[in-house]
Amino acid sequence: MKKVFKEIAKSLLRKLGLLKWIRKVMYSRSKNKFVTAFEGVSHYEYKIRNRVVKFSVEDPYSASFVGYYLNNKVYEPEAVELLMQQLTPQDVFVDVGANIGYFTAVMGVCLPGIKLVAFEMGHENFRILGRNIELNGLANVQTFEGAVSDRSGTLFHQDSAVGNAVLKIMEDNKDNNPDIVKVKSVALDEFFSALKEKPTFVKIDVEGAEMKVLQGMKGLLEMQLKLLIEIHPKDLIGFGSSREEVLEYLKFFSFTIQPVPNNDRKNELVFAWK
């Protein structure tokens, strides 16, 4: 009953144009402690592997992300450790679902000379991503504001007033929901077809659209390649896919698959290579 009432209330507020404003107010209140902690500070210096990586704390989302995830600890340590072991400064690292650029910035600083390509579809996240690239003086980074999928064209996602770690793509907006915004989409095969350098390692974190990304990079999957994929079993269902389909697809392209220990019990991290 509570869930039904909540959905009715959200629908009414959306029609009145108040939902995004209320979300922004609630978000700001919940993150006040982080905003206050970084008041008057432009960036946070994050120490990892004897390197200093800088992250912006100039807005509520950046401040809360840094305060919650990066404050005196390594965020996603298993993924960071694997990437550090597998990547070299000669690699081309592709960050699909870069968010504010955590992995892009860490790899760029810790592996000077590495070439980076970062994809992020959230407009506010993309702005912060650019700021973090600038703060760290990373010159070998190419960025793309949009979704990575099985085709190049147009997709949609739920808009966020203040940045969001979880932005899920969708293929249509049948209900004409004003909170759903249109974004560019690109298939990785098409994106890299015109570029001389090809990826050597692709990290994928796309909240259930894993198969869409993989189907758009069939040509790249034929090459020598390494992948780090966060599999979202529940979200994959919404795309008509499954964890099993993702793993079978990788096996079809002759990838060896290794589970990566992950403290996040909801999702599964896998390393695949050939």
Q: DSSP per residue over 187-254, as a string?
A: -HHHHHHT-SS--SEEEE--TT-HHHHHHTTHHHHTSS-EEEEEE-HHHHHTTT--HHHHHHHHHHTT
- Residue 249: alpha-carbon gap to chain centroid: 22
- CATH fold of 73-273, please? Rossmann fold (3.40.50)
**pLDDT at 31 exceeding the cut of 80:** no
**pLDDT at 76 exceeding the cut of 80:** yes
Q: What is the C-alpha to C-alpha distance for residues 86 and 112, in angstroms, rounded to an integer?
A: 15
For residue 141, the 8-state DSSP code is: E
| Listed residue (188, 182, 181, 184) closest to 212, CA to CA | 188
Structure tokens that stand for 186 in this block: 């690109």
- 174 within 8 A of 146, measured Cβ to Cβ: no
| Listed residue (186, 163, 159, 193) closest to 173, CA to CA | 159
Q: What is the C-alpha to C-alpha distance for residues 173 and 118, in angstroms, rounded to an integer?
A: 26
**Host H or E run for residue 123:** helix 123-135
- 199 within 8 A of 192, measured Cβ to Cβ: yes
The structural domains of the chain, with segments of one domain joined by +, span 1-30, 73-273
- Mean pLDDT across 73-82: 92
Task: Give this prediction's pTM.
Answer: 0.85
Confidence of residue 22 (pLDDT cuts 50, 70, 90): low
Residue type for 201, please? F
**pLDDT at 7 exceeding the cut of 80:** no
pLDDT recorded at residue 165:
47
Q: What is the C-alpha to C-alpha distance for residues 158 and 144, in angstroms, rounded to an integer?
A: 18
**pLDDT at 78 exceeding the cut of 70:** yes
**pLDDT at 75 exceeding the cut of 60:** yes
- Mean pLDDT across 167-172: 62
Confidence of residue 6 (pLDDT cuts 50, 70, 90): low
| Listed residue (53, 62, 59, 61) closest to 80, CA to CA | 53
Structure tokens that stand for 85 in this block: 């072991």
